[in-house]
Amino acid sequence: MTRFLAYFLTALMLLQTLGQEVLVVDYQLNKARITAQYCVNKARPQLHCNGKCHLAQQLRKAENGDKKAPAGAQAKVKYEVLPTAPLVLAAVRHWPLPARRYPTPRAAHCAAVPGVGVFRPPLLLG
């Protein structure tokens, strides 16, 4: 069910995006029917319209439909200004912080001092 819903929503999104291309493909597939039913230049076959006038009309209608603003967008824009009196901030107080005392580091054991039990030179055989 989830896969079907995903394919359905993808198809709807593609149809919305490719609306004009769908109209052109529909025209190419049904050119004879469109010419017979909708062509306004049937009386003048020398123009070779073949229903292109109907296709152009459909493309204009689709283009104007895309540019049409939503119903609520034409309303007058209202700007509101917040009162500034309660937003005035008091002077910032600086509280003195006590100085931090870090412990003095202990003297680290140097690596130059050989460890008693770690370093053993190799035995010389010979």
Q: What is the pLDDT of residue 111?
A: 56
Categorize the per-residue pLDDT at 20 as very low, low, confident or very high, splitting at 50, 70 and 90. confident
Distances (CA, A) of 62 to 10, 17, 33, 50, 94: 20, 11, 21, 20, 65
Name the pTM for this structure: 0.44
Could you tell me the sign of the dihedral formed by the alpha carbons of 99, 102, 104, 110, in that order? Answer: negative
End-to-end CA distance of the chain: 84
